[in-house]
Amino acid sequence: MATVTETEARTDENGIVSPLAKLSEEQLEELGREFDAIHDEVYDDLGDRDRKYIVAMIEFHRTLAVAGRVLLLASRFKPAWLAGTTSLSLAKILENMEIGHNVLHGQWDWMNDPQIHSSTWDWDTASTSEAWKHSHNYIHHTYTNIRGKDKDLGYEIMRIDPHQKWHPVYLLQPIYNALLMALFEWGVAVHDMDIEAIRAGEKPKEEVLKDLKGIAGKARTQIVKDYVAWPALSGLAAAAASTALELVRGRGKPAAKGRRESLRRRLDPRRGAARRQMVEQLAGQAAQSFVRTYRTTFWADIVANIVRNLWAHAIIFCGHFPDQTYTFSKEETEDESRGAWYVRQLVGAANIEGGPMFHVWSGNLGYQVEHHLFPDMPSTRYAEIAPRVKDICERYELPYNSGPFFQQWGMVNRTILRLAFPGGKPRPKPGPYRGNDTNGSANGQPRRPESRPTGENGSGPEQSDDGVRVSMPDEE
């Protein structure tokens, strides 16, 4: 009589085997030590070059923002509008992705700089720092891709995994996903409130009101800054320039010849009327310049915010929802070991391939796999550790999810469209990573890393430092 192996027992109805089923407890323990060692080695090496990088990124963002605002002073001219909007869009992307997201993850808290610290940083987006850190850093990065626990899995409004029960409202998800792209920061802000807990009555009204007050405050700040103050400043500058130009032109008129001619002009009763007419004309032209420039700057700010939202939505969805990623049931992750936590992070994310500048504009979230393994590690180190992560994947026969941007983006949107309708099956998953580096120990056993000292609570993102926001809490 044939026996059922553990792997067969953990194969679902679609024939997909969880990577957790492929490794023994001893292998998971060893894998956990290897990833811990990578984390500790990088943290031991952090220093001045890392500090210079984040300071340079902040200065670069400010330069882009100032350049955009200066160009938009002349936004009534199309070339200036296009250049200013582009510069401002890039500034907002850089501030959100490479700076704000990563600072709030505590990646730079090791510097003990009170101005570049997760406890003090605020960013140009609708989410409050406090609500986002709880929803993203804690809930999402702790329970990554656990169905029913990770609230980022579809953001509570989309069916992104076939295991999710279908509801007729999902028929509309291709439409409201398009709206979410343009309004992503506001969708994330509302999501951070935990709508599911509010509906179930599990969240106290005091906390709901606190969250709403925080979002309202952020909304007020952004509306006043982007849609009132900056357009008004551009309009005033344009009005002043228009007035100055007309006055200079007026001075070009021929001067009076002789005292008698000068006296005649002064006594001319039409002089006062001419002055009033000139003032009225200047005021009219100034008002026209103000309104026109206010309007063009207003729309430039709208476009810049939408561009930032579209980019953030694309990068985040491509890093979490392509075909390659796995999701997990609550039962699979009960009594999860440290090594199993790493495996879940490894296969629950996907990288996006691109060049150095692509990774800067994406906040280095093109290395989403490395980010989920080490969310508190400075983002600039992800490219450095990627070969070591691939080596571990190869030796433990685990997948390393990666693909070009448009491949990942296409898969995500295909999933959103298909799962808007009933049914659907998980897409085929990639096999073990097979790189060119075939180094390994005899008998196919993974190499043991040199043991290294760890922190008080071991190593990795569960350290109790103020800047670290990820932990593995005990189940109730």
DSSP track, 271-295: HHHHHHHHHHHHHHHHHHHHHHHHH
In whole angstroms, give the CA distance from residue 314 to residue 95: 16
What are the angstrom distances between the C-alpha of 367 and each of 371, 386, 402, 433?
6, 8, 9, 16
Rounded to 10 degrees, the C-alpha dihedral 337/131/52/90 comes to 120
6, pLDDT greater than 80 = no
pLDDT band, very low/low/confident/very high, at 307 (cuts 50, 70, 90): very high
Average pLDDT on 29-42 reads 97
And the tokens for 337? 């070991």
The residue with greater pLDDT, 13 or 326, is: 326
Mean residue pLDDT of the chain comes to 85
15, pLDDT greater than 80 = no
Maximum distance among all alpha carbons in the chain? 127
Q: How high is the pLDDT of residue 196?
A: 83
Element (H, E) at 38: helix 25-45
Other CB atoms within a 10 A radius of the CB of residue 116 amount to: 18
Least confident of 351-355, 375-379, 380-384, 452-456: 452-456
What are the angstrom distances between the C-alpha of 353 and each of 144, 227, 365?
22, 36, 10
Q: What is the pLDDT of residues 178-202, one digit of tens each?
A: 999 999 999 999 988 888 888 888 8
Residue partners of 212: CB distance under 8 A and separation at least 6: 193
In whole angstroms, give the CA distance from residue 104 to residue 82: 31
Nearest to 466 by CA among 109, 138, 139: 109
Q: How high is the pLDDT of residue 286?
A: 83
240, pLDDT greater than 50 = yes
Least confident of 14-23, 299-308, 416-425, 455-464: 455-464
In whole angstroms, give the CA distance from residue 158 to residue 149: 15
And the tokens for 92? 């907002």
State the Cα angle at 40 between 355 and 456, rounded to 5°. Answer: 145
Q: What is the pLDDT of residues 227-239, one digit of tens each?
A: 999 999 999 998 8
Q: What distance lies between CA 338 and its chain's CA centroid?
A: 27
Positive or negative torsion for Cα 436, 440, 445, 447: negative
Average pLDDT on 292-317 reads 96
In whole angstroms, give the CA distance from residue 391 to residue 385: 10
Q: What is the pLDDT of residues 246-294, one digit of tens each?
A: 777 765 455 545 566 655 555 555 556 666 776 777 788 888 889 999 9
What are the angstrom distances between the C-alpha of 77 and each of 68, 70, 74, 271, 451?
14, 13, 6, 36, 63
In whole angstroms, give the CA distance from residue 266 to residue 226: 48
Residue partners of 446: CB distance under 8 A and separation at least 6: 27, 30, 31, 34, 392, 395, 396, 440
And the tokens for 186? 């506001």
User: Would you give the DSSP letter of residue 332?
Assistant: G
In whole angstroms, give the CA distance from residue 462 to residue 376: 9
467, pLDDT greater than 50 = no
Q: How high is the pLDDT of residue 203?
A: 86
Q: What distance lies between CA 248 and its chain's CA centroid?
A: 49
The residue with greater pLDDT, 423 or 441, is: 423
Q: What is the pLDDT of residues 362-382, one digit of tens each?
A: 999 999 999 999 999 999 999
Rounded to 10 degrees, the C-alpha dihedral 229/234/235/241 comes to 150
pLDDT band, very low/low/confident/very high, at 445 (cuts 50, 70, 90): very low
Cβ proximity of 386 and 58 under 8 Å: no
In whole angstroms, give the CA distance from residue 372 to residue 389: 12
Percent of the chain with pLDDT over 70: 82
Nearest to 371 by CA among 431, 319, 447: 319
In whole angstroms, give the CA distance from residue 64 to residue 60: 6
And the tokens for 112? 């003990």
pLDDT band, very low/low/confident/very high, at 473 (cuts 50, 70, 90): very low
DSSP string, 351-410: EEE--HHHHHHTTTGGGHHHHHH-TTS-GGGHHHHHHHHHHHHHHTT----EEEHHHHHH
Q: How high is the pLDDT of residue 285?
A: 83
The radius of gyration of the chain's CA atoms, rounded to the nearest angstrom, is 29
Q: How high is the pLDDT of residue 158?
A: 93
Q: How high is the pLDDT of residue 257?
A: 54
